[in-house]
Amino acid sequence: MNKFLLNICLLEHAVGKPFYATENAAGIDLTAGINSKILIKKNEYKLIPSGIKIEIPIGFEGQVRPRSGLALKHGLTVLNAPGTIDADYRGEIKVLIINFGLSNYTISPGMRIAQLIFAPVYKADLKFVKKLGSVSDRGEKGFGSTGIESI
């Protein structure tokens, strides 16, 4: 398993610390850095603070992803999943949560609301051309063209 040092700044409103739930967990659990409960109604979304700032090393990014249990049991997910955190961002990590569930849901202080995964970043050298140089069998077919049968 590859590792790097991650500097984490706990803010005044942080409730608990981010942590890996198991030894081989891919993501750090992020908790709700709130002082009182927040109600998320059906089909509503809210921006939930985590109470932390982080310093991601250059060459990596953070990805805020949903927790599978919240999605399965309550229909809660991260609206912009994965939410990208760039290495040069130094603000508080916040999680945009939407409730697709059948009922309202309450986020409590310190509740695990999302997971944070780290991945290497590859930057492309951009070259603008008038025409693409390669041809493929797929061509410009998209949006379900490989998996939906015609009627």
Q: Tell me which of 93 and 135 has the higher pLDDT.
A: 93
Instruction: Report the phi/psi class of residue 59: left, alpha or beta, with left for phi > 0 and alpha for psi in -120 to 50.
Output: left
Q: Where are the alpha helices (DSSP H) in 33-130?
A: 68-74
Cβ contacts of residue 132 below 8 Å, gap of 6+?
A: none
Q: Which of 57, 55, 54, 75 is nearest to 66 (CA)?
A: 75
Binning pLDDT at 50, 70 and 90, where does residue 148 land?
Answer: low
Binning pLDDT at 50, 70 and 90, where does residue 149 land?
Answer: low
Per-residue pLDDT of 96-130, as tens digits, reads 999 999 999 999 999 999 999 999 999 999 999 99
pLDDT at 134 over 60: yes
Binning pLDDT at 50, 70 and 90, where does residue 151 land?
Answer: low
What is the set of domains in the chain, with CATH numbers?
7-120 (2.70.40.10)
Per-residue pLDDT of 77-99, as tens digits, reads 999 999 999 999 999 999 999 99
Q: Is the pTM of this model over 0.85?
A: yes
- Give pLDDT, residue 121: 97
Per-residue pLDDT of 15-54, as tens digits, reads 999 999 999 999 999 999 999 999 999 999 999 999 999 9
Cβ contacts of residue 121 below 8 Å, gap of 6+?
A: 59, 60, 61, 87
The span from the first CA to the last CA of the chain, in angstroms, equals 48
